[in-house]
Amino acid sequence: MARRYFDRDTYKCVELPTYGSGEIRKSAASKFIERLKNSNIEFFDDRLPAKEYKQYDVMDENYLKNILVKKDGEYEPLGWNSEIVKNPPVKKIRVYFKTQQGRDRAVKILADLTR
């Protein structure tokens, strides 16, 4: 791995497409992985989950389940102060290939699935 990095021969990546909402097309993802296996293409997938943060309203009995932060001497819910909590990152599935040829074959498979 170190030699590959030194030689600038890093793994090649394909990121699976998502809907406008950021949701991954699960059936396409599982079909894609299955076709990669059937095609004997060497790969590994990296799934980045997006964690949800449940924010409770001030009048909700579960309000204290919020993560509270101190701002200007007052405690406020984290969701009021954090852009990441307000707009969490979307889930992503990235698939990595040892060779450019493997990636090129995978891109063709993915194109066939997303038509």
Neighbours of 78 (CB within 10 A): 15
Same domain, 31 and 3: yes
What is the share, in percent, of the chain residues with pLDDT greater than 90? Answer: 26
Same domain, 1 and 33: yes
Same domain, 56 and 94: no
pTM of the model: 0.60
Same domain, 96 and 83: no
Q: pLDDT by residue (tens digit) across 65-104?
A: 778 889 899 988 887 888 777 776 667 788 999 999 999 9
Same domain, 45 and 14: yes
CA dist., res. 97 & res. 72, Å (int): 49
Residue 105 has pLDDT above 90, yes or no: yes
Same domain, 94 and 111: yes
Neighbours of 96 (CB within 10 A): 17
Identify the sign of the CA torsion 98, 102, 104, 106: negative
Same domain, 15 and 38: yes
- Mean pLDDT computed over every residue of the chain: 81
